């Protein structure tokens, strides 16, 4: 293995457990009830998400990959980056398209994957280090909603948030995240943001409610996470999966709808929660962008849109922004 692997840990298993307890307590005692999407991704949830990315209906992953395949060399040239910082390190495939391009441009020195999951990061770091022996891999276990100022500052950085992850945050939060991110950038750094675009509602709904039911299982999996991590007693089958297009907010909302009256116990929180039959709980928003809204979000955070690349069908965009 490559000697040049370093792993910084800004987040312990204990921090994560505390955040989960707080999120679940706040979400289940709120009205309407809500759970944040970040808790979907345990081992099973991550595997289900991988399956989602291969579904016919779920175009975002393929579209973003098509843009990267076509534009990675240009991204390397216009940014001149020697360091790739990836926030929410993904499956690795898109990472490699970018790393290969930075390498081909003769600039690649450092890869900084950032994720909340230490196990996942360590594995990803090992694999990348093995395949890019001259590259320093500096993995950071952190919550990029909280630890942005702790990210390594060396090099000329390309900071990537891919997969339209930014769309999981409501507008105010999205802008504050981008503002905090902007504050950590030097004038030579660049930000690359994947953004899913507004399109026909039927296609959007199908992408989040596929015929084979994988997304439904992914959605219900959050209840299994609560059962395991917090000693809850949800029966996932008591809840139906819903994907609703909100045409005003321009986001897809995933919800879980109680199919009957449910009384659930969450042991670790000493909490009992009642759902009436038909009650809906939001589990995710996935905002869809237009060029104007993307530009406005970036501008509100002090970021200038430098390039806007879409796939040929115009389904997805990569925005390159400068501080």
Binding footprint of ligand AVJ on the chain (CB under 6 A): 52, 60, 163-165, 167-168, 208, 215, 284, 286
Contact 214, 185 (CB under 8 A): no
Q: How far is the CB of 48 from ligand AVJ (least distance, A)?
A: 9
Q: Choose between 157 and 169: whose C-beta lies nearer to ligand AVJ.
A: 169
SS3 content of the chain, % helix, strand, coil (to 5): 45, 25, 30
CB-based contacts of 165, cutoff 8 Å, min separation 6: 87, 88, 194
Q: How far is the CB of 88 from ligand AVJ (least distance, A)?
A: 8
Q: Choose between 41 and 234: whose C-beta lies nearer to ligand AVJ.
A: 41
In the bound state, the residue with its beta carbon closest to ligand AVJ is 286
Cα gap 11→139, rounded to integer Å: 12
Q: Choose between 144 and 208: whose C-beta lies nearer to ligand AVJ.
A: 208
Q: How far is the CB of 226 from ligand AVJ (least distance, A)?
A: 18
Please report the DSSP string for 84-125 in residue order: EEEES--SSHHHHHHHHHHHHTT---EEEEEES-HHHHHHHH
Q: Choose between 36 and 155: whose C-beta lies nearer to ligand AVJ.
A: 36
Q: How far is the CB of 125 from ligand AVJ (least distance, A)?
A: 21
Q: b/e string for 196-227 if b means 16 or more Cβ within 10 A?
A: bbbeeeeebebbbbbeeebbbbbbbbbbbbbb
- The DSSP bridge partners found for residue 316 are 196
Q: Choose between 27 and 155: whose C-beta lies nearer to ligand AVJ.
A: 27
Q: How far is the CB of 41 from ligand AVJ (least distance, A)?
A: 9
Q: Choose between 280 and 284: whose C-beta lies nearer to ligand AVJ.
A: 284
Q: How far is the CB of 215 from ligand AVJ (least distance, A)?
A: 5
Cα 182 to the center of its chain, rounded Å: 18
């Amino acid at each position: 293995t490559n000697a040049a692997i370093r792993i910084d840990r800004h987040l312990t298993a204990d921090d994560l457990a505390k955040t989960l307890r707080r999120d679940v307590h706040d979400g289940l005692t709120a009205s309407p009830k809500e759970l944040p999407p970040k808790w979907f991704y345990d081992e099973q949830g991550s595997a289900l998400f991988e399956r989602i990315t291969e579904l016919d209906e779920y175009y975002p992953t393929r579209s973003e990959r098509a843009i990267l395949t076509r534009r990675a060399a240009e991204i390397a040239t216009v940014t001149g980056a020697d360091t790739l910082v990836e926030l929410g390190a993904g499956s690795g495939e898109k990472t490699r398209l970018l790393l290969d391009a930075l390498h081909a441009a003769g600039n690649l020195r450092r890869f900084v994957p950032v994720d909340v999951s230490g196990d996942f990061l360590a594995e990803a770091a090992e694999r990348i280090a093995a395949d890019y022996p001259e590259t320093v891999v500096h993995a950071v276990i952190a919550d990029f909603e909280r630890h942005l100022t702790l990210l390594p500052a060396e090099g000329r950085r390309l900071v990537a948030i891919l997969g339209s992850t930014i769309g999981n945050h409501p507008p105010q939060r999205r802008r504050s995240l981008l503002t905090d991110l902007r504050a950590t950038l030097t004038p030579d750094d660049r930000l690359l943001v994947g953004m899913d675009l507004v399109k026909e509602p039927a296609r959007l709904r199908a992408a989040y409610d596929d015929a084979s039911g994988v997304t439904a299982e992914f959605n219900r999996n959050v209840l299994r996470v609560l059962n395991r991590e917090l000693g809850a007693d949800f029966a996932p089958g008591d809840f139906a999966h819903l994907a609703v297009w909100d045409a005003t907010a321009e986001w897809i909302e995933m919800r879980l709808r109680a199919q009957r009256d449910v009384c659930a116990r969450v042991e670790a929180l000493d909490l009992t929660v009642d759902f009436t039959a038909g009650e809906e709980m939001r589990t995710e928003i996935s905002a869809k962008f237009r060029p104007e809204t993307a530009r406005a979000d970036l501008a509100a955070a002090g970021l200038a849109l430098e390039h806007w690349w879409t796939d040929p069908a115009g389904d997805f965009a990569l925005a390159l922004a400068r501080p």
